[in-house]
Amino acid sequence: MSTMCGSGRSAERWASGAVRRTRRRSVVDLTPSGRLMLSLNLMHGAHIAAMPSGLPEPSVVGIVAAPDGAADGEWNRRWRAVRAWVFTTDPVRAGVLWIAASMLFFFFGGLAALFMRTELAAPGRTIMGPEEYLGWFTLHGTFMIFFFAVVVFFGIGSAVVPRLIGANNMAFPRLNALDLWLILLGGSILELGFLFGQKPIAGWTSYPPLSLGGFSPGLGQDWWIWAVGLETFGATMAGGNFLATILRSRSPDVPLRSMPIPVWGILFSSVLVVIAGPFLLTALGFLWLDRNFGTWFFAPETLPGPLLWQDLFWFYSHPATYVMIIPAFGFLSAVLHRFSGRSVLSTFTVIMGMAGVALFGLLVWWHHMFTTGLSSAAGLFAVAMTWTVALPSGVVILSWIASLRWGRIHFTTPMLFALGFILMFTVGGANGVFLSFLPFDVYAHDTYWVIAHFHYIIFGGTVLGLFAAIYYYFPIAFGRRLSEPLGKWHFWLTVVGINLTFFPMHYLGLQGMPRRIHDYDAAWGGVNMAETVGAFITAVAQLLFLANLAVTLVRGRPGRDDPWEEAEADRGTATRPSPRTGTEEAA
């Protein structure tokens, strides 16, 4: 049996050949089957049809797989159901698995953060010593950056992009599946190595010489190199796959100029990861050779030595921040559009803003190296580029705000997360501008100010943007809306938690509290305790999200084809399709 999303009427229409082919930008004749595709294609009005009579009526993501033959036993049916997911080449299923794998690492990374915050709750040794702290710190940063934030939007992209551009699948469906496996297994070997006592302690940036054999003996650092290498290899190939899909597999009805904003977001993100990914792969390869075969790439006895690692590492890892955030820009544009009833003020401006962020994002890696003795010319270049990259980001934010100004805002959970994104990301951008001033950076570089900036961008930006996208697309994909009350609890607790955790870090940074250290001056004990409480509030909020997911998947009531229409009906807002955000626009 399959889960139901189809109907007899639609099957008859399909069988009779009455597949509706509408013109782009026209209203699509909705049918129950293929909710996700239908909703995603509202702005294109194409590629939608009812399901054939006599064939299985699939759920959107095919929770239950193929029809069962009479001769098949229970085990065969189970095997087919498992196989349909584990060995899938379908972009939507792969995307769902990808998101699930990324979220798994998000929760592992979050667990590590809780251990760290518990240690930092009071000065002195609380639950762990310095080496254990460095281990958890490394695990937290590695999981959150490489295995969650960089790749999670590619999961959403896999599920959404092919249909937004009228493609049947990714250009390379098997490569898409392989990328998923590389990321999942890469993270797993790091986690297993850690559990078996092989802890990397050089941090997620793994600067030499700390990451070389002399300071990081044992195999933990080697496991880290291979785990991150597998993830980066998978992400780079995924970027290439998205490029090929978007540039070559689009429907002829979807010219480049008509692509929805979320697709542009994935496109720019893919360009970044494909250009920058090999840098980190190269650096990881060199580091492994230095540790195991006596080469001299990063040896501290040489020049540039360790600085070469920083060049290569940051040439990838700074653009990686934009790989995380630019797709969020795209999906947020869709959410803001849908729940404000107004299209983005200037689609062209937003797309150009994202392009500017991507372009200048490639040129700012030196601002991570202000304290390494850069020449004044290089330092000035980094400062100028960092200021420049703030401009297109600001343009995007202002476009959103201007769009909201005359809209009828509907405070659904995804909209709340989207608004939270705007606020938190703006705070993160503003405190980042401080760091772009070279003299201030020299003072604050190794302090908690950087932690505050980074987490406002990543948690306040990427994570809130991700939740906005999940809350928005989940009912479209699964036909069941996540609980709004639980969602709103999730949002408010998250916002309170992250602000309680990260805002006081500005103060600690200005006071000079060093980062990456498990101990600190007793005078900062109260503030640190407050931050730890904030971290646990944030964790409780994420548990609410998990509970929301579980309850909705098990007990959720199937809704309409496009569940968000109910919300719009409640406020009496008619909608018409918009070609650029994958949503509908108030008439």
Q: What is the DSSP string of 211-223?
A: TSTTTS-SSHHHH
CB 552 within 8 A of CB 483: yes
Interface region with another protein, contact rule CB under 8 A, candidates 280-288, 387-395, 496-504, 561-569: 280-288
- Answer for which of 11, 28, 30, 36 binds another protein (CB under 8 A) is 36
Tell me if 253 contacts another protein by CB under 8 A. yes
The one segment of 118-126, 271-279, 501-509, 573-581 that binds another protein by CB under 8 A? 271-279
Closest to another protein by CB, 104 or 275? 275
Q: Least distance (Å) from another protein to the CB of residue 69?
A: 14
Minimum Å gap between C-beta 39 and another protein is 11
- Measured from the CB atom, the residue of 62 and 392 that comes closer to another protein is 62
Of 9 and 571, CB closest to another protein: 9
Q: Which residues are paired to 576 by β-bridges?
A: 585
Closest CB to another protein among 271 and 328? Answer: 271
CB atoms < 10 A from the CB of 168, how many? 11
Pairwise CA distance, residues 311 & 580, whole Å:
37
Neighbour-count burial of 403, counting CB atoms closer than 10 A to its CB (0-12 exposed, 13-18 middle, 19+ buried): buried
**Binding segment toward another protein, per CB under 8 A, in 284-292, 486-494, 499-507, 543-551:** 284-292
Residue 585: which H helix or E strand, with range? strand 584-586
Closest C-alpha to 49, from 91, 6, 88, 90: 6
| 168 near another protein, rule: CB under 8 A | yes
Q: Which of 355, 359, 335 is nearest to 395 (CA)?
A: 355
Greatest CA separation for the chain: 77
- The contact mask relative to another protein for 143-162 (x = CB under 8 A, - = no) is --------------------
- Residue 296 binds to another protein (criterion: CB under 8 A): yes
Shortest distance, position 44 Cβ to another protein, whole Å = 10
For residue 576, count other CB atoms closer than 10 A to its CB. 13
Choosing from 9, 21, 125, 576, the residue that interacts with another protein (CB under 8 A) is 21
Q: Is 584 in the site for another protein (CB under 8 A)?
A: no
Cβ 157 to another protein shortest distance, Å: 15
Cβ contact 545:414 at 8 Å: no
Q: Coil, strand, or helix at residue 334?
A: helix
Q: Using the rule CB under 8 A, is 79 a contact of another protein?
A: no
Does 387 interact with another protein (rule: CB under 8 A)? no
**What CA–CA distance (Å, rounded) separates 433 from 441?**
10
- Half-sphere exposure of residue 201: CA atoms within 13 angstroms, side-chain side: 19
Residue 186 interacting with another protein (CB under 8 A): yes
Q: Quick check: 219 binds another protein (CB under 8 A)?
A: yes
Task: Kindly state whether residue 8 participates in binding another protein, applying the rule CB under 8 A.
Answer: no
Region binding another protein by CB under 8 A among candidate stretches 133-141, 179-187, 433-441, 503-511: 179-187
Which of the ranges 245-253, 405-413, 516-524, 558-566 carries the binding residues for another protein, by CB under 8 A? 245-253
Give the integer Cα–Cα distance in Å for 231 and 179: 8
Q: Which of 30, 65, 326, 363 touches another protein by CB under 8 A?
A: 65
Q: Which one among 4, 128, 275, 359 touches another protein, defined by CB under 8 A?
A: 275
Any contact of residue 374 with another protein (CB under 8 A)? no
Least separation, in Å, of the C-beta of 229 and another protein?
A: 8
**Shortest CA distance to 235 belongs to which of 173, 192, 186, 202?**
186
Question: Which is nearest to 539 in space by CA: 469, 482, 480, 463?
Answer: 463
- Check binding of 304 to another protein (CB under 8 A): yes
Residue type, 371: T
Inter-residue contact 418 to 335 (CB < 8 Å): yes
**C-alpha Rg value of the chain to the nearest Å:** 24
- Compute the CA torsion angle 408, 582, 149, 551 (nearest 10 deg): 70
Q: How far is the CB of 223 from another protein (least distance, A)?
A: 6
Question: Rounded distance, CA 457 to CA 21, Å?
Answer: 42
Closest separation in Å from C-beta 178 to another protein = 4
* Residues binding another protein: number (CB under 8 A): 94
By the rule CB under 8 A, 101 interacts with another protein:
no
Q: Which is nearer to another protein, 49 or 419 (CB)?
A: 49
The answer to the question of residue 243 lying near another protein (CB under 8 A) is yes
Nearer to another protein, 248 or 555 (CB): 248
584: which strand partners?
577
Query: Applying CB under 8 A, which of residues 30, 144, 182, 201 lies at the interface with another protein?
Result: 182
Closest CA to 310 of 369, 266, 249: 369
Please say which residue, 180 or 334, places its beta carbon nearer to another protein.
180
Under rule CB under 8 A, residue 185 binds another protein: yes
299 is a contact residue toward another protein (CB under 8 A): yes
* 124-143 footprint of another protein as x/- string (CB under 8 A): --------------------
Q: Residue 111: CB partners within 8 Å, gap ≥ 6? A: none
Cα separation, 524 vs 508, whole angstroms:
8
